[in-house]
Amino acid sequence: MSNAVMESKPSIPEEIPTFTATLIIRRFDPEVDDEPRWQDFDVQMHGTDRVLDALHKIKWEQDGSLTFRRSCAHGVCGSDAMRINGRNRLACKTLIKDLDISKPIYIEAIKGLPLEKDLVVDMEPFFDSFKSVNPFLMAGSVPKAGKERKQSPVERARFDDTTKCILCAACTSSCPVFWTDGQYFGPAAIVNAHRFIFDSRDDNAQVRLDILNDKEGVWRCRTTFNCTDACPRGIQVTQAIAEVKQAILRGKA
Ligand code: SF4
Ligand code: FES
């Protein structure tokens, strides 16, 4: 038997094709505009570029006043949710080549929250709802010194899906109930309540269930699944809302 080691040839990277994409962005400057207006931009893009790269290119090379939020640029911070061709997505996770570039790409701010400038909305109402469900561990007893709060893998799996939320608001701002009723807690607040309601270490599920049994709570959900479709983390948002509804009806988590 031969001991010869097969040497693989180094692969030559394929040339990344470039193309021109047209972005039509809904602009609004409260100091100048009475109403939002649409503005087109043509940008030269590479096959690996994302919508966030296109926005940066426009801002750096064509119009420095273009305003949008972003931080991590890798789908973790949740700050760049926007409507891209009518669908809520993260700009940093949307490849331009995956959109239909034979047509313009329409970009606008998420709906249902007050528009501040261009693609930036006021997130305060969203975070107020989030805070109102007590999104933190509320445990009655303190473990003995040096001991942990134990949890089995099965107990941990019960709420694993809802731990993935990055608070991007893509779900809440895609919900038609939230568009028409700004008082509704919205899917993201319910997801973050779910995360603690079903945590075996928490002792205050009932407090959150009572909060969400409010007339602006879970019963406002019309099960349209927009939230689940919009979630960039793949969280089964509608299912989480249904589980909270069932827990309210049962009277326990
Ligand atoms: S549930 Fe999904 S869409 Fe909603 S805020 Fe969390 S990560 Fe964003
Ligand atoms: S910039 Fe952080 S999630 Fe997109």
- Tens digits of residue pLDDT in 136-156: 999 988 888 889 999 999 999
Q: What's the gap in Å between 81 CA and the centre of ligand 2?
A: 8
Highest mean pLDDT among 4-13, 15-24, 200-209: 200-209
Average of per-residue pLDDT across 46-50: 94
What b/e readout covers 10-25, taking b as 16+ CB neighbours within 10 angstroms? eeeeeeeeeeebebbb
Burial of 40 (0-12, 13-18, 19+ CB in 10 A): exposed
Q: Which ligand is nearest to the CA of 129?
A: 1
pLDDT at 217: 95
Nearest-CA residue for ligand 1 atom 3 is 231
**Tens-place pLDDT, residues 209-224:** 999 999 889 999 999 9
Q: Which of 177, 20, 168 is nearest to 104 (CA)?
A: 20
Average pLDDT, the chain: 94
Of 192, 176, 194, 195, the residue nearest 184 (C-alpha):
176
- Residue 2 clears pLDDT 70, i.e. is over it: no
Could you tell me if the CB of 167 is within 6 A of ligand 1? yes
Among 69, 79, 78, 85, smallest CA distance to 25 is for: 85
SS (H, E, C) 131-172: HHCCCCCCCCCCCCCCCCCCCCHHHHHCCCHHHHCCCCCCCH
What are the chain's domains? 18-121 (3.10.20.30), 124-138+153-250 (1.10.1060.10)
- Alpha carbon distance 21, 46 (integer Å): 10
Given this model, what pLDDT does residue 5 score? 52
Residue 35 tokens read as 């109403």
pLDDT digits (tens, 9 = 90+) for 234-251: 999 999 999 999 999 999
pLDDT of residue 1: 44
What is the DSSP code (8-state) at residue 215? T
36 pLDDT more than 60:
yes
Tell how far the Cα of 150 is from the centroid of ligand 2, in angstroms: 33
Which has the closest alpha carbon to 186: 152, 233, 230, 141? Answer: 230
Minimum CA distance residue for ligand 2 atom 3? 75
Q: Is the CB of 168 under 6 A from ligand 1?
A: yes
What span, in angstroms and rounded, lies between the C-alpha atoms of 63 and 85?
21
Question: Per residue in 65-116, pLDDT tens?
Answer: 999 999 999 999 999 999 999 999 999 999 999 999 999 999 999 999 999 9
Q: How far apart are the C-alpha atoms of 169 and 188, rounded to whole Å?
A: 7
**Secondary structure class of 244 (helix, strand, coil):** helix
The 10s digit of each residue's pLDDT in 162-195 is 999 999 999 999 999 999 988 899 999 999 999 9
Relative to the alpha carbon of 187, which ligand is closest? 1
Ligand 2 binding residues, C-beta < 6 A: 70-73, 75-80, 90, 92
- Residue 13 makes CB contacts below 8 A (sequence gap 6+) with none
The whole-model pTM stands at 0.92
Which ligand gives the minimal distance to the CA of 53? 2
